Amino acid sequence: MSISYSLSPSEKRFVGWHLAVAIFALGLGTLFGPLQAFEHAGWDVYPFLKPLIQSYYQGLTLHGVLNALVWTTFFITGFLTFTTIYGLQRPLKYPKLNLVGFILMVVGLVAAAIPLLLNEATVLYTFYPPMKAHWAFYLGLTLVVVGSWVEGWGFYFTFAQWRKENPGVRSPFIAFAGILTMVMWQFATLGVAVEILTMLLPWSLGLIENVDPQLARTYFWFTGHPLVYFWLLPAYISWYAMLPKQVGGKMFSDSLARLAFWLFLVLSIPLGFHHQYVDPGVPAAWKFVHAVLTFSVFFPSMMTAFTVIASLEHGARQNGGTGLLRWVLALPWKDPSVAIQLLGGLLFFFGGIGGLANASYNLNLVLHNTTWVPGHFHLTVASAVTMTFMGISYWLIPYLTGKKLWRPNWALAQAWLWFIGMIVFSNSLHILGLLGAPRRTPLNAAPYIPPEWNSRLLQAGLGGAILFVSAILYLVVIIATVTSKVKVTASEQVVPPVAEALQDPATSPAWLDRWTPWLVGMAVLIVIAYGPQLYEQISNIALNSPGFRVW
């Protein structure tokens, strides 16, 4: 079924505002990335940024919060607004509710940004206590999360209305997958909501004196791990259902795509202890349970790899592609939106394999807290996810604004530079990690650097420089597109790419379109994997650590 629906001008503006905030955050946050890389290479510019930016750690916190939290959350809520409206081919049921959600997110962002910029919240993006930030930072983060929930409720009302009017009809994939992502996020963020509301906020306001850092970490990673799938699933929506159309093909299997999303719903949350393998307060048996569940979430990712590549191959063969692997060359590599997503997917193979190394307990003891970990997440969130979001923006922004993408060749160069820069950068971090270099450390200032790290530190600086050029190119292309005076003609209007499935989705099993069993499965698994430990840690709560300002 091809979709001919179009968003109204106000809906386009609404989605566009989400993207504007997201891209602004990316633009600002990404500036600090190369500064960290340059510091490693011995070109420390932080002393010159005073009094604006006080330290490496303030820069690192801004980088992590703006890129990992703000760029992603705003882009995703905007994109899911699009997939809900466009997928269901109907306006939001309560657009004002969604507007309230967005306003809450923006107010929260401003509230968190003030202490961040004033160096009052230099606690990195994981904000582990006992490092203590200004209360406005915690309040701001809470408002961003609550605002995204409110937007999610708007999607649910819209979906419920659609379902009422279309009983028995298979839900359109992009709307289904977007709403599922939001449901997962709403359950996942309960951890951080409890952490902030019961501990960090009252503590920072002076209502309680001390916190329990172990319990806080458990709450945090209840959210922190599924957070990575909240970033990834919108990219998967594009890979499963949009990229195939962009390459001239069809979605290889609607059923497999749905199954993968259901598995992510069930499996994303109950595995946070793989971030806490070294925490003394979590018993080994529970670390083992979470390790097993971590390896099970590998399956939907491999299903994704096979299904998406099958769709790409189908598309490439429609364009005359032949051979066992030569068909790859028949993909539209000149289209920047396609190329950047393919390159992001290729990097994700390596990020995923690194993730499996992290998840293996014995290896984790070697890798944890080394630069290997940022090496891993620059291939996942900063490559697969960010490159896909950039690729989406290369068609979505022209669609929303009615403007032509400015200089597609520049956008193509941007894609390849990000790819090359990330290979250089993440390779150096992975190797440095294996050599024992600690993460979150201004290595240039460390007195213990062995000579064998030097060439890799320089490599990190080089990668950072290439990524910096790519980021600037991205911003230039987007700003020039939005501000261009030239409107497209009717025949040049972008039609959002939504692929048809090879087989009619109506023939796929009905249980792949039923929410109850999967929601129950998710809840049961969370209770099994987290219930006993949460009970144990809460009943033995040790509020014994005062706050520290280590910056």
Instruction: Name the residues annotated as catalytic.
Output: 225, 229, 376-378, 439-440
Pull the structure tokens for residue 317: 């063969």
- If one asks whether residue 131 binds ligand HAS (CB under 6 A), the answer comes out as no
Contact window for ligand HAS (CB under 6 A) among 78-86, 166-174, 376-384, 478-486? 376-384
State the binding string over 467-486 for ligand HAS (x if CB under 6 A, else -): --------------------
Q: Based on the shown chain and the rule CB under 6 A, indicate whether residue 368 belongs to the binding site for ligand HAS.
A: yes
Q: Does 388 bind ligand HAS (CB under 6 A)?
A: no
By CB under 6 A, name the one of 138, 159, 239, 399 that touches ligand HAS: 239
- Check residue 348 for interaction with ligand HAS (CB under 6 A): yes
403 counts as binding ligand HAS under rule CB under 6 A: no
Which DSSP category does 43 fall into?
A: -
Beta pairing partners, 545: 211
d(CA 232, CA 226): 10
Nearer to ligand HAS, 103 or 353 (CB): 353
Minimum gap (Å) between residue 277 Cβ and ligand HAS: 6
Give the three-state DSSP class for 488.
Answer: coil
By CB under 6 A, is residue 381 in contact with ligand HAS? yes
Q: Which is nearer to ligand HAS, 283 or 546 (CB)?
A: 283
State yes or no: residue 385 binds ligand HAS (CB under 6 A): yes
Tell me if 232 contacts ligand HAS by CB under 6 A.
yes
Q: What angle do CA 532, 535, 541 make, to 5 degrees?
A: 135
Nearer of residues 16 and 497 to ligand HAS, judged by Cβ = 497
One-letter amino acid at 202 equals P
Q: CB nearer to ligand HAS: give 30 or 401.
A: 30
Least separation in angstroms between CB 260 and ligand HAS:
10
Under the binding rule (CB under 6 A), the answer on residue 36 touching ligand HAS is no
By CB atoms closer than 10 A (0-12, 13-18, 19+), residue 515 is middle
Q: How far is the CB of 381 from ligand HAS (least distance, A)?
A: 4
Token pair 């009905």 is found at 510
Contact (Cβ atoms closer than 8 angstroms) between residue 17 and residue 23: no
Residue 309 in tokens:
């590549």
Of 385 and 443, CB closest to ligand HAS: 385
Q: Which of 29, 178, 226, 355 binds ligand HAS (CB under 6 A)?
A: 355
- Rounded distance between C-alpha atoms, residue 551 and residue 546, angstroms: 16
Among 6, 54, 126, 318, binds ligand HAS (CB under 6 A): 126
Strands (E), 320-431: none
358 near ligand HAS, judged by CB under 6 A: yes
Q: Please identify, using beta-carbon distances, which residue of 36 and 401 lies nearer to ligand HAS.
A: 36
Question: Taking the mean position of all CA atoms in its chain, how far away is CA 511?
Answer: 28
Longest Cα–Cα distance in the chain? 68
Exactly one of 145, 267, 359, 429 binds ligand HAS (CB under 6 A); that residue is: 359
Question: Exactly one of 304, 337, 386, 481 binds ligand HAS (CB under 6 A); which one?
Answer: 304
Q: Residues of 144-162 as b/e, b for ≥16 C-beta within 10 angstroms?
A: bbbbbbbbbbbbeebbebb
d(CA 463, CA 458): 9
- Applying CB under 6 A, does 294 fall inside the site for ligand HAS? yes
Q: Are 293 and 277 in contact (CB under 8 A)?
A: no
Of 45, 292, 329, 356, the one binding ligand HAS (CB under 6 A) is: 356
The type of residue at 53 is I
Strand partners for 463:
none
d(CA 510, CA 534): 36
Closest to ligand HAS by CB, 308 or 415: 308
- The number of residues that bind ligand HAS (CB under 6 A) is 37
Contact between 380 and ligand HAS (CB under 6 A)?
yes
CB 433 within 8 A of CB 373: yes
Q: How far is the CB of 8 from ligand HAS (least distance, A)?
A: 32
Query: Which is nearest to 455 in space by CA: 478, 437, 470, 441?
Result: 437
Are 475 and 221 in contact by the 8 Å Cβ rule? The answer is no
- Cβ proximity to ligand HAS: between 172 and 433 the closer is 433
Stretch that binds ligand HAS, among 50-58, 252-260, 305-313, 399-407 (CB under 6 A): 305-313
Residues 225 and 466: their CA atoms lie apart, in Å, by: 29
Does 228 engage in binding with ligand HAS (CB under 6 A)? yes
> CA-to-CA distance for 447 and 547, rounded, in angstroms?
28
Kindly state whether residue 364 participates in binding ligand HAS, applying the rule CB under 6 A: yes
| C-alpha separations of 258 from 174, 228, 252 in Å | 10, 19, 12
Q: How far is the CB of 4 from ligand HAS (least distance, A)?
A: 28
Which residue from 377, 425, 453, 518 is in contact with ligand HAS, where contact means CB under 6 A? 377
The pair of three-digit structure tokens given for residue 316, joined into one six-digit string: 């490439």
Verify binding: residue 231, ligand HAS, rule CB under 6 A.
Answer: yes
Comparing CB distances to ligand HAS, the nearer of 267 and 411 is 267
| Torsion angle (degrees, nearest 10) of CA 470, 474, 476, 482 | 180
Q: Of how many residues is the chain composed? A: 551
Binding residues for ligand HAS, rule: CB under 6 A, are: 126, 228, 231-232, 239, 274-275, 294, 297-298, 301-302, 304-305, 308-309, 312, 328, 342, 345-346, 348-349, 352, 355-356, 358-359, 364, 367-368, 373, 376-377, 380-381, 385
